[in-house]
Amino acid sequence: MTDFVVTFLALLAVLVHAALALLLLLAGASLASGRARVALAAVRAHLAGLELPLAWTVALVATSGSLYFSEVAGFVPCRLCWYQRYAMYPLVALLALAAFRRLRPWVPFFLPVSLVGLAVSVHHHYIERYPESESASCKSGIPCSTRWIWEFDYISIPVLAGTAFALISILLVAAWRSPVYSTAE
């Protein structure tokens, strides 16, 4: 079962990476091309109002995955995994409130939490790739350089978390700018 969950989450991450790369290319092309600007506006219009529910879904899947890894698969979280959890777990409840009450004014308060989680994920992935850079505090207990999963030669637990934090951050920025969410609430 664990192999299935790992592969499923890794495939989701690859799909998100591909979608984000295409979105980045479209955004870059929109600087020079009117057709790209129209396509980017169509993507924004298609997602209008769905940003916060999608961000909540991403946070829920990430939280469920981390709980599965620790409670079912038996992967013991390291110090940096815990820091990422401290950032992700509250987002599930906060984004649910914001998504279902359409509370755009709350969005700016969630973005720093997501960006800090992303920064920790990037640092954690760096330590996995270069274990010699691991600090003494990370070596006590479960080392932060421990790789519990390694799919497609780049997907590890910090990459999964970082992907979730990046997507949540992008969706939060989109929600903040979306006219669908009322600032009066």
Residue 165: which pLDDT band, with cuts at 50, 70 and 90?
Answer: very high
Q: Return the closest-CA partner of residue 117 out of 170, 64, 164.
A: 164
What is the rounded (10 degree) CA torsion for 136, 138, 140, 143? -130
pLDDT, position 185 = 44
- Radius of gyration, alpha carbons of the chain: 18
**Which pTM does this prediction carry?**
0.91
Q: Where are the domains of the chain?
A: 2-177
Q: At the topology level of CATH, where does 2-177 sit?
A: Bromodomain-like (1.20.1550)
| 3-state SS, residue 155 | strand
